[in-house]
């Protein structure tokens, strides 16, 4: 169909054009197949999934649970955002957990704003302790008194049930009080109040009612049953929250990326460390157990959690339970790919969030094809798995350990290949248990998406070596089909679309096949958007956003190629999280205008040459690109950013919408909810 008479007569230019077009069509069809197979797997897994009964999960309170450390890497984050993330970690219903905020700011800033922000982040653990210490002491004391009653003699079941109901009722009241007091500055706060505080209040109240009639499990004494309930309550607020700053120590890595922030602390876990001042600076050296300046408690499992994410209260409980199931001994990473925070106030944030929610479907589908990738915003890791892929290297004359690869800025993706190459597996748990913020303006989205596009081509050769090595190559074909597309699609699809719109296709290639091949993809994408709570018309906005992001994605790809050539690491581009607008890099804004002009001029030439199909295609894409430029970037904002950027100064941006006092208005720890209240008073 694509080979013309001109080609057969020796028209090599036509032959090349046909070959390029055929290759691009193959890539687009390949992407459509990956999406359809992924969503089919997602739907099948969602239908087959049956969550573990809560009573089975509660068995973890009968034993000494494997220690869990929740690591939250942070670099110049707003304290309010960090506080919310840490509180979602605090309220994990897992009995043996520890939370460490890994502050990566320069430890000795000179700018007054940086000093103030760093001090506030350092103070967060104390604020959390002031908030949760009263209920922690209350429930811990109740547990200890219960243990004394067990030692003294037989328990009175009716009386113990009444004690437990009172305690659950008080816990419900405490969470309700915090929900009412929590400052709702944005939709993230609303989500936290609903999915964490209100959910915990409802869970406590539900258990309070269940205790009236629920029987003791068969083959179990009432004392064991009651102890489990007391232990659950006692562990609700029993958690250590601390901070760690690797850049204070000369002999730890100072590489400017999230991976090495995590690696520096992971290398300390399980040991005691003392701070030693030397002529070269402050050093961290091994110390006697229990007598060090820093006690990095041992951890069987780790949760890595971005500082702008929220995990639901049963995240750790369910994922650790899955990790410990028989047959999962080689499971290295389990996660629930994060969803976008719902009810975003701006169009850009809502549509960018829609693409995130679609990615949730794709990643869940990947697991059905044994092609899971670790997505670093939140994940539960097995410590022993990380120790099998660790690499020791020299940095500034000191030995540093790399458990998570930092060769690219998508460190979780490359580490996925390292793990599967050693026989470990990765898994996406089929529930929505994690949410992450979406950049609210184009400037911050540009930084995030350029980072996401950077690194796939560098990692691709490592993946191909794994797929081609050893026995069972044919069995790996399904995961190869998915994994290769994940790494290469950003480069191929964005470049392919530019080429199709740039090339004046011959009449032989002008056909209806291009839109027809894309039709099933867009139809299913629209259906999935509706299922996720979006509108049908949002498919056009998603497409427009993807057009606007073409130069951004290709910029990330270009950085990958540059890194592959120079062998120099690309600095980690942190996504800004500020209340004001983030200025866009002028080069990318200018590129959008250039692409728009090229498509409009090309469409005009196509119509003049009677290449109607290509002309309509180019004109339609130009219209959608202009629409995306208006609603996602903003005409005035784009001109401001280009003018200011090319003149070498910062553009004026909108001031923060929320005052400095927003972080100070955390729930009041002086609340005294620990009075037994009537059930009707508990919301």
Is 366 inside a domain boundary? no
On whether both 493 and 433 belong to a single domain, the answer is no
Q: Exposed (0-12), middle (13-18) or buried (19+): which is 524, by Cβ within 10 Å?
A: middle
The CATH number of whichever domain residue 387 belongs to comes to 3.90.550.10
Q: Which residues contact 106 (CB under 8 A, 6 or more apart)?
A: 114, 247
Q: Among residues 119, 192, 232, which one has the least CA distance to residue 342?
A: 192
Task: Give the total number of structural domains in the chain.
Answer: 2
Domain end point (choices 438, 471, 491) = 438
How many residues would you count in the chain?
Answer: 683
On whether both 160 and 80 belong to a single domain, the answer is yes
On whether both 58 and 33 belong to a single domain, the answer is no
pLDDT value for 174: 97
Calculate the CA 665 to chain-centre distance.
27
Let me know: does 369 contact 425? Beta carbons within 8 Å.
no
Backbone torsion region of residue 423, taken as left when φ is above 0, otherwise alpha when ψ lies between -120 and 50, otherwise beta? left
Domain end point (choices 402, 417, 438) = 438
Domain that holds residue 612: 5-45+443-646
On whether both 516 and 535 belong to a single domain, the answer is yes
On whether both 506 and 427 belong to a single domain, the answer is no
Runs of H (alpha helix) within 369-476: 383-388, 411-421, 442-452, 456-468
On whether both 252 and 214 belong to a single domain, the answer is yes
Domain end point (choices 418, 438, 458) = 438
CA-CA distance, 466 to 461, in Å (whole number)? Answer: 9
CA-CA distance, 252 to 266, in Å (whole number)? Answer: 12
Is 219 inside a domain boundary? yes
On whether both 434 and 464 belong to a single domain, the answer is no
Is 363 inside a domain boundary? no
Angle at 677 between CA 675 and CA 678, to 5 degrees: 170
pLDDT value for 5: 45
pLDDT value for 380: 98
On whether both 271 and 409 belong to a single domain, the answer is yes
What residue ranges in 368-445 does DSSP mark as E strands?
A: 378-382, 391-395, 398-402, 425-428, 434-436
pLDDT value for 628: 96
Q: Among residues 414, 564, 554, which one has the least CA distance to residue 487?
A: 414
Is 305 inside a domain boundary? yes
pLDDT tens, residue by residue, 46-79? 999 999 998 899 999 998 899 999 999 999 999 9
On whether both 240 and 197 belong to a single domain, the answer is yes
* pTM of the predicted model as reported, rounded to 2 decimal places: 0.91
On whether both 322 and 177 belong to a single domain, the answer is yes
pLDDT value for 661: 41
pLDDT value for 677: 39
Is 370 inside a domain boundary? no
Let me know: does 450 contact 575? Beta carbons within 8 Å.
no
Q: Write out residues in the chain with pLDDT < 70, as ranges.
A: 1-11, 13, 503-515, 570-580, 645-683
Is 455 inside a domain boundary? yes
What residue ranges in 473-576 does DSSP mark as E strands?
A: none
Is 673 inside a domain boundary? no
Is 503 inside a domain boundary? yes
On whether both 179 and 239 belong to a single domain, the answer is yes
On whether both 535 and 434 belong to a single domain, the answer is no
């Amino acid at each position: 169909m694509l080979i013309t008479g001109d080609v057969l007569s020796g028209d090599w230019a036509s032959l090349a054009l046909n070959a390029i077009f055929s290759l691009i069509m193959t890539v687009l069809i390949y992407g459509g197949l990956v999406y359809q197979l992924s969503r089919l797997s997602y739907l099948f897994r969602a239908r087959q999934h049956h969550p573990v009964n809560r009573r089975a999960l509660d068995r973890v309170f009968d034993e000494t649970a494997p220690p869990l450390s929740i690591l939250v890497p942070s670099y110049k984050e707003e304290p309010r955002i960090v506080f919310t993330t840490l509180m979602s970690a605090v309220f994990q219903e897992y009995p043996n957990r520890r939370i460490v905020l890994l502050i990566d700011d320069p430890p000795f800033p000179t700018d007054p704003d940086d000093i103030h922000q760093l001090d506030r982040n350092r103070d967060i653990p104390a604020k959390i302790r002031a908030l949760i210490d009263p209920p922690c002491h209350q429930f811990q004391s109740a547990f200890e008194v219960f243990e004394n009653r067990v030692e003294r003699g037989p328990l009175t079941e009716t009386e113990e049930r009444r004690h437990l109901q009172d305690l659950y009722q008080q816990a419900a009241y405490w969470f309700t009080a915090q929900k009412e007091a929590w400052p709702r500055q944005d939709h993230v706060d609303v989500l936290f109040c609903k999915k964490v505080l209100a959910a915990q209040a409802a869970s406590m109240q539900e258990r309070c009612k269940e205790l009236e009639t629920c029987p003791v499990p068969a083959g179990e004494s009432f004392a064991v049953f009651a102890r489990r309930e007391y232990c659950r309550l006692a562990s609700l607020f029993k958690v250590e929250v601390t901070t760690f700053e690797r850049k204070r120590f000369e002999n730890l890595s100072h590489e400017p990326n999230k991976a090495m922030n995590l690696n520096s602390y992971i290398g300390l876990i399980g040991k005691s460390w003392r701070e030693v001042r030397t002529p070269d600076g402050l050093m961290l050296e091994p110390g006697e157990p229990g007598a060090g300046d820093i006690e990095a408690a041992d951890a069987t499992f780790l949760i890595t959690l971005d500082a702008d994410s929220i995990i639901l209260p049963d995240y750790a409980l369910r994922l650790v339970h899955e990790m410990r199931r028989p047959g999962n001994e080689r499971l290295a990473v389990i996660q629930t790919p994060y969803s976008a925070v719902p009810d975003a106030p701006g169009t850009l944030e809502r549509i960018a969030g829609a693409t995130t929610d679609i990615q949730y479907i794709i990643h869940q589908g990947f697991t059905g094809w044994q092609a899971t990738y670790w997505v670093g915003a939140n994940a539960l890791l097995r410590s022993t798995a990380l120790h099998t892929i660790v690499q020791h290297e020299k940095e500034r004359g000191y030995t540093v350990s790399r458990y998570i690869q930092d060769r690219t800025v998508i460190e979780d993706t490359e580490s996925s290949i390292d793990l599967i190459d050693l026989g470990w597996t990765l898994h996406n748990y089929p529930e929505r248990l994690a949410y992450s913020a979406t950049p609210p303006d184009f400037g911050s989205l540009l930084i995030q998406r350029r980072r996401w596009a950077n690194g796939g081509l560098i990692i691709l050769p490592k993946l191909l070596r794994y797929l081609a090595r050893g026995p069972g190559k044919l069995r790996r074909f399904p995961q190869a089909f998915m994994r290769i597309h994940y790494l290469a699609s950003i480069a191929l699809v964005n470049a392919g679309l530019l080429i199709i719109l740039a090339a004046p296709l011959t009449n032989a290639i002008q056909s209806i096949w291009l839109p027809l091949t894309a039709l099933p993809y867009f139809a299913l994408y629209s259906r999935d958007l509706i299922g996720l709570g979006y509108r049908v018309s949002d498919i056009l906005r998603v497409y427009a956003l993807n057009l606007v992001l073409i130069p951004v994605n290709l910029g990330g790809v270009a950085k990958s190629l540059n890194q592959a050539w120079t062998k120099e690491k690309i600095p980690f581009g942190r996504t800004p999280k500020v209340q004001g607008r983030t200025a866009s890099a002028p080069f990318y804004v200018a590129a959008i205008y250039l692409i728009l002009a090229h498509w409009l001029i090309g469409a005009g030439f196509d119509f003049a040459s009677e290449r109607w199909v290509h002309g309509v295609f180019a004109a339609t894409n130009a219209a959608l690109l202009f629409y995306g430029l208006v609603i996602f970037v903003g005409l005035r904002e784009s001109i401001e950013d280009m003018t200011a950027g090319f003149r070498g100064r910062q553009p004026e941006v909108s001031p923060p919408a929320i005052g400095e006092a927003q972080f100070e208005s955390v729930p009041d720890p002086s609340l005294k909810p620990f009075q037994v209240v009537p059930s009707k008073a508990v919301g």
